[in-house]
Amino acid sequence: MFRHNPPDRSPGGRRPEIAGHRSDKGRPIHILAATFPNGPHQPIALGAAARAFGLDPHATALAALAALHESTAGPATAAIRLLGLDPFAVHAVLARLDPRMDELALQAAALAHDPAARLPAPSAPMLDISAQHHSDWEVHLFAS
């Protein structure tokens, strides 16, 4: 099984962006580090690590699929817990998203050699707007 290392203490480069630094082909990771001094978003880091390690297109698509799965399953689980939604209904929605997520993963893998700044991010403005609205709330969920 996988060993868990906290993100701020990762001996041996367990995080993708650190592991890529250790690779002979880690140039994409160094470019990302210069472009995003606070670190790239996880999907970008996973794609850069896949490229740095020279993974084939199928494996790169699997890395993209892992990022897509996390970005949908996490909020779905939160919706079940916080809103009391039916878990079977929520997971049925996730199952219906599978074909679209496969398509998106293949599209992402095809863009693995493009600079991060040229990658499509149609939902990014909505995330920023939502974060701004959240900062105005009196009560913050999951505030740390």
Burial 54-80 (b: 16+ CB within 10 A, else e): ebeeeebbebbbebbeeeeeeebeeeb
Residue 15's pLDDT is: 54
**Contacting residues for 14 by C-beta, under 8 A, at least 6 apart:** 3, 5
Question: Which residues of the chain fall short of a pLDDT of 50?
Answer: 1-13, 20-21, 23-25
Residue 24's pLDDT is: 47
